[in-house]
Chains A and B, each alone.
Chain A
Amino acid sequence: MLSKDIRKHFPILDQEINGHPLVYLDSAATSQKPRQVIEAINDYYAYDNANVHRGVHTLGNRATDHYEGAREKVRKFINAKSTQEVIFTRGTTTALNMVAQSYGRANVEEGDEIVITHMEHHSNIIPWQQLAKEKGAVLKYVILEEDGTLSLDKVREAVTDRTKIVSIMYVSNVLGTMNPIKEITEIAHAHGAVMVVDGAQAAPHLKLDVQSLNCDFLAFSGHKMCGPTGIGVLYGKKELLNEMEPVEFGGEMIDFVGLYESTWKELPWKFEGGTPIIAGAIGLGAAIDFLEEIGLDQIEKHEHELAGYAMEKMSSMDGLTIYGPRDPDKRAGIVTFNLDNVHPHDLATVLDMNGIAVRAGHHCAQPLMKWLECSATARASFYVYNTEEDVDRLVEGLQIAKEYFQ
């Protein structure tokens, strides 16, 4: 377990909700922000604010240095070969849409296949649905195993020589399942398909290494990893990005502009039309510093331990169903569950009245809910600032809800 001192870095945690100390168990929706991230954004606006990449003046240079410095931090964080492979976006959704609209439109033809899975978040379903409809391509789903994991054999069955894109989440935002991305990438590549990884739930929790994974694209969001909202990253292999057309056109992304023709800047800027998300990128850089000071290995270990502790405590409760893999080592710090005879919304309200924040609903994964045969679930997700006491408070809250609705 990580030291409880980490909590001191998060000013928001020091408050009472409905008369109880806050227990925040909704980090998979968005994480809380440490003081150093809030201050980095504040300092940028207070001392260095200017537009980037056009500065003859000192502030412009400072802003550019901070912005591009954040890109280098992201490069190191995911072990990309070059900062040219790191594109700042608004978040995971935007990044996945960029791949679908740029790479997808140029490379997917009628009758081609796009392979995803039943556990995907809507942001990794709908861009492909739209692309498949537009191109007359086939959208294929890999079905899940009983325990909510993916079997490589089923992936092998789904991916064929007609497959152009395989797009799969690294960590499930509902089941907590950690998928074997490296092995799936090998399968995709053996058939000449590109591998897209939705890393939204992976980047906050485990060490990412795009060279080791050998994936072609990776998307993730800043706000789930202690950074601000409105910033995310699209990683892409340079040779692929070089061939791709920009999705947005305008300022910042151009080289020469004529009356009827224009040319684009080199990577990564050709994909960053308009004034970029400067403060967001700086905040993300500060978040990466924070996470690396703790150590991603330590964070992953902490979450496994907390999820294990939560599952152990919760399993002993009558009428409580936990979804996803039983083995804590196969899952990240996400525990999704239902309590018999208590709808998750009602459960979430009772917990909120006891100061405990959980998510209730379909978690932007309606096809997965269908697979689980439930319309909604409750979800507790853990991060660096959560403790065993938080889990104990959750279990107490569940007991209160159970008695209340009896």
Chain B
Amino acid sequence: MPTNKLDQLYRSVIMDHYKNPRNKGVLEENNITIDMNNPTCGDVIHLTLNVEDGIVQDAKFEGEGCSISMASASMMTQMIKNKDIDTAVKYAHVFSDIMLGKEIDESIDLGDLEALSGVAKFPARIKCATLAWKAMEKGLGSETEQ
């Protein structure tokens, strides 16, 4: 962990995802579209998913927001691609636990996500980080209800 509090929030992995977002854009072939915003700060995300046979085949996002929200969206799309719906939704719950500062099951490979754990120390920014995950969970939730 970096000692400077600011560096704990803005880890280099986050800045990399912010400046070079993965899966940015709109999926031409998609069967789930979710628009979500954060009414308190104006962040928006437009998420398109292509889910077939219970697997997230592809995911792309567009949006406007701070480094935390956009980096988090980038990481989220990376995490859920080629995962089944249950796993993707489980990631959303794990992510929520990370934001709450809870202990995470060590067997879960968080990959780049680990870098976002510093956000938990900045209560005002947690909503920035969770926006994309809430959008994903909502989109896949509607899928499981069908």
> A-side interface residues toward B, CB under 8 Å?
18, 343-346, 349-350, 353, 360-362, 366, 369, 375-376, 404-405
**B94 CB–A CB distance under 8 Å:** no
In the bound complex, do residue B66 and residue A346 qualify as a contact, i.e. CB atoms below 8 Å apart? yes
Please name 5 pairs of A and B residues whose Cβ atoms are closer than 8 Å in the assembled complex, sorted by A: A18-B5, A345-B68, A361-B40, A366-B42, A376-B43
In the bound complex, do residue B9 and residue A362 qualify as a contact, i.e. CB atoms below 8 Å apart? no
Q: Complex formed: what's the CA distance from A362 to B6 in Å?
A: 24
Scoring B residues 10 to 21 as 1 if CB is less than 8 Å from chain A, else 0, what string do you get? 100001000000
Given contacts A353-B5, A362-B42, A343 and B67 within 8 Å (CB-CB)? yes
Minimum CB–CB distance for B105 against chain A, Å? 29
- Residue numbers in A under 8 Å from B67 (CB-CB): 343, 346, 405
Minimum CB–CB distance for A358 against chain B, Å? 12
Q: Complex formed: what's the CA distance from A345 to B10 in Å?
A: 12
In the bound complex, do residue B43 and residue A375 qualify as a contact, i.e. CB atoms below 8 Å apart? yes
User: Of the candidates B5, B6, B15, B65, which one forms a contact with A343 in the assembled complex, judged by CB atoms under 8 Å apart?
Assistant: B65
User: Of the candidates B15, B41, B122, which one forms a contact with A376 in the assembled complex, judged by CB atoms under 8 Å apart?
Assistant: B41
Q: Complex formed: what's the CA distance from A360 to B124 in Å?
A: 11
**B92 CB–A CB distance under 8 Å:** no
In the bound complex, do residue B41 and residue A404 qualify as a contact, i.e. CB atoms below 8 Å apart? no
- Residue numbers in B under 8 Å from A405 (CB-CB): 15, 67
In the bound complex, do residue A345 and residue B41 qualify as a contact, i.e. CB atoms below 8 Å apart? yes
In the bound complex, do residue B41 and residue A349 qualify as a contact, i.e. CB atoms below 8 Å apart? no
- In the complex, besides A366-B42, A376-B41, 12 extra interface pairs with C-beta distance below 8 angstroms are A343-B66, A345-B128, A346-B10, A346-B67, A349-B122, A361-B41, A375-B44, A375-B64, A376-B42, A376-B43, A404-B6, A405-B67
User: Of the candidates B42, B124, B125, which one forms a contact with A375 in the assembled complex, judged by CB atoms under 8 Å apart?
Assistant: B42
User: Of the candidates A350, A361, A376, which one forms a contact with B6 in the assembled complex, judged by CB atoms under 8 Å apart?
Assistant: A350
In the bound complex, do residue B6 and residue A345 qualify as a contact, i.e. CB atoms below 8 Å apart? no
User: Of the candidates B5, B41, B64, which one forms a contact with A360 in the assembled complex, judged by CB atoms under 8 Å apart?
Assistant: B41
Within 8 A of A (CB), among B40-83: 40-44, 64-69
In the bound complex, do residue B9 and residue A349 qualify as a contact, i.e. CB atoms below 8 Å apart? yes
Residue of A nearest to B4 (CB): A353
- Residue numbers in A under 8 Å from B43 (CB-CB): 345, 375-376
- Residue numbers in B under 8 Å from A343 (CB-CB): 65-67
User: Of the candidates B6, B66, B125, which one forms a contact with A344 in the assembled complex, judged by CB atoms under 8 Å apart?
Assistant: B66
Q: Complex formed: what's the CA distance from A362 to B44 in Å?
A: 12
Q: Complex formed: what's the CA distance from A285 to B38 in Å?
A: 37
Minimum CB–CB distance for A368 against chain B, Å? 12
Minimum CB–CB distance for B122 against chain A, Å? 7
In the bound complex, do residue A345 and residue B40 qualify as a contact, i.e. CB atoms below 8 Å apart? no
- Residue numbers in B under 8 Å from A18 (CB-CB): 5
Minimum CB–CB distance for B101 against chain A, Å? 18
Given contacts A349-B125, A375-B64, A369 and B5 within 8 Å (CB-CB)? no
Q: Complex formed: what's the CA distance from A405 to B71 in Å?
A: 14
- Residue numbers in A under 8 Å from B6 (CB-CB): 349-350, 353, 404
Residue of A nearest to B7 (CB): A404
User: Of the candidates B41, B122, B125, which one forms a contact with A362 in the assembled complex, judged by CB atoms under 8 Å apart?
Assistant: B41
In the bound complex, do residue A345 and residue B66 qualify as a contact, i.e. CB atoms below 8 Å apart? yes
Q: Complex formed: what's the CA distance from A405 to B14 in Å?
A: 12
Residue of B nearest to A360 (CB): B41
- Residue numbers in B under 8 Å from A360 (CB-CB): 41
- Residue numbers in B under 8 Å from A361 (CB-CB): 40-42
Residue of B nearest to A353 (CB): B6
Given contacts A18-B5, A362-B42, A404 and B125 within 8 Å (CB-CB)? no
Minimum CB–CB distance for A23 against chain B, Å? 17
